[in-house]
Each structure stands twice: as C-alpha cells, then as structure tokens.
Amino acid sequence: MVTMDRPEAEPSPRRAVIATGTGRYADPWHPFPATSARIADALRADGWEVTVDDDVDHALSNLDGLDLLVVNAGDPWREGAAELGHRADPAADAGLRAAIARGIGLVAVHAALSSLRDHPAWREAIGGEWQPGVSWHPPIGDARVRVVDGDHPVTGPMPHLDVFDERYSDLVVDDGARVLAVHDVDGAEHPAVWVQEEPTRAVVCSLGHDERAYDSPAHVALLQRAARWAAQV
C-alpha cells in the first residue's frame, strides 16, 4: 500500500490590531496616526498581520480572533472632570473584557498610560497609569533607557536603548508589575518599561511620543519582542 504524506498546514498568521487615537482619544501633542503606522511597520516586519483602526471603540468591539491589542491613543478625559467619565461604549467594554479573559496580549504605548479611562479592565491589566497632577515629563530630547532586568524575553540581552523621546516620569506602577527598564531624571530613577502577567500578558512601553522615537532600532526591536511575548507566539 502506498501512503502519501499530507502537506503540513500553514500556521495561522499572528494577528494584531492597533487602536489609534482619533476623536476624543486624540490630543494636540501626539501624532497617533503617524506613530501607529510606524508600529504597524515594525510588527509587519516581524511577521504580523496588522490592522490599524482609527476608531478605538470599534477596535475594542472587534477583538475576536486577534492575538494582540496595541493601544496608541490619548486621554479621553483630558478636557473634562471626572463627571465626564463612565461613558464607555458598552460593546467596546464588553469586547475588551472578553478579550482579556481569553488571554489576548496587550501592548500599551506611551500615551496609552492615560487612555481608556472609561475601562477599568484596561487599567487593571496594564498595571500602571499616568496620574494627572503627579506624572510629568521633562522636555523631549535624546534619552537613554537602561535595562534593569535582562532576564526577561522582552528586554533580553539589551543593556540599554537610546531614543529621542519624552520620558514619562512619576508614573504610577502597581506592586505586581515587573519593571524591565528605567530612565533617570536629575538622579531619580523612573520606570519606563514593565510587564504584567495577570489577568493577561501585558507590556507597557512609555516611549513613543512621535515618529522620531521609532527611528531607534533598539526601540523597534523591543516592541517586536514585546508583541511576541504578550501574545505568547
């Protein structure tokens, strides 16, 4: 009897969406569509199938079948007080919660630390935030980010990365987060990159103010490793 080997099935593509700040998730300081394009380029170069969605609520409502959610968006409460909160789109909130529950990977980029304030599940998952009145940044410029945990796959053997960027400082970082990299301002050390594994894998990279931040090959490589680790692919 002649047997024939069956061709191996092609592996499913790794699929990601980048939720990009427009509308109430836009701000005057961050060119979110331009930086999302650079993030998409970095992920596609690493084998990802990427959708850039400039409607944050739509992105959160349509996470089924995706391996990774990248949020590159601003603070929806920046022009109003707390009474403007608690207006999350129900479908978006349900979609985000369901995706986190099934283990979607999360990458929070720069201003995403102040975004999705209407979604407590996001804040819980990323393990930190930009806190108005507490967090701040020095003027944008050349910066060195030091790796303090080289044993993690996201940072790997990289001792540091040099980047032209804003350095978010005095961020709130939860006790359960694992800080991988820091930057220094006036002798004080500030977390710049951290990860959290519960309730799902999440990577926070506080870098990425504008396109110049993505001219750093080390920054791009870190984002690629962050995506793979978060999505467990």
pLDDT for residue 2:
47
Residue 173, φ and ψ in degrees, nearest 5: -125, 125
Structure-block tokens of residue 201:
């894998």
Pick the CATH number of 14-231 from 3.90.1150.10, 3.40.50.880, 3.40.50.2300, 3.40.50.970: 3.40.50.880
Nearest to 111 by CA among 165, 176, 162: 165
Q: What is the DSSP letter of 231?
A: H
| Whole-structure pTM value | 0.93
87: pLDDT confidence band, cut at 50, 70 and 90? confident
H and E: helices and strands count for the chain: 5, 11
Higher pLDDT, 78 or 162: 162
pLDDT tens digits along 110-166? 999 999 999 999 999 999 999 999 999 999 999 999 999 999 999 988 999 999 999
